[in-house]
Amino acid sequence: MAKYKVRVGSKEYSVEVEERGGGTFIVNVEGKVLEVKVVGTEEVSVTEVKEVKPKAVSVEGKVVTAPTPGKVVELRVKPGDAVKENDVVAVLESMKMNIEIYAGYNGKVKEVLVKPGDFVDLGQPIIVIE
């Protein structure tokens, strides 16, 4: 993710931009996350901007959370699977790198809160273990 300081008038903003491909970018402006679609060749024109809101989740149990913002590329468990704390339960893609996520707990998978292709935020719950 590229990081920038952007000045608009007299105010300066911290901005992070991650390219998703196909003219789509995830733009984080001081905690407000936007998905921006861009078209055009010589002059850039924005066609769509929408806010990306984290999913509100209320969970009970031991929660495995995303260690970084990214895209879920693989889930290696499903509800009912037994896991040990060092088992890889999911893989995220972040900044063009694959990051393995470990269960962190011994137990049984109670619930999987994401699916491949979902974008997750730092600390977002992704799997519940009982």
User: Is residue 16 in some structural domain?
Assistant: yes
Task: Using alpha carbons, select from 62, 46, 61, 58 the residue that is nearest to residue 103.
Answer: 62
pLDDT of residue 54: 53
Give the pairing of strands 11-21 and 2-8.
Answer: antiparallel
User: Is residue 56 in some structural domain?
Assistant: no
For the whole model, what pTM was predicted? 0.56
pLDDT of residue 49: 59
User: Is residue 103 in some structural domain?
Assistant: yes
Residue-wise over 67-88: b if at least 16 C-beta within 10 A, else e? bbbbbbeebebeeebebeeebe
pLDDT of residue 48: 57
pLDDT of residue 109: 94
Does one domain contain both 37 and 88?
no
pLDDT of residue 47: 58
Domain range for 91: 62-129
User: Is residue 57 in some structural domain?
Assistant: no
pLDDT of residue 59: 54
pLDDT of residue 61: 67
Does one domain contain both 45 and 68?
no
Describe the chain by its helix, strand, coil percentages, rounded to 5: 0, 60, 40
Which segments of the chain have a pLDDT < 50?
none
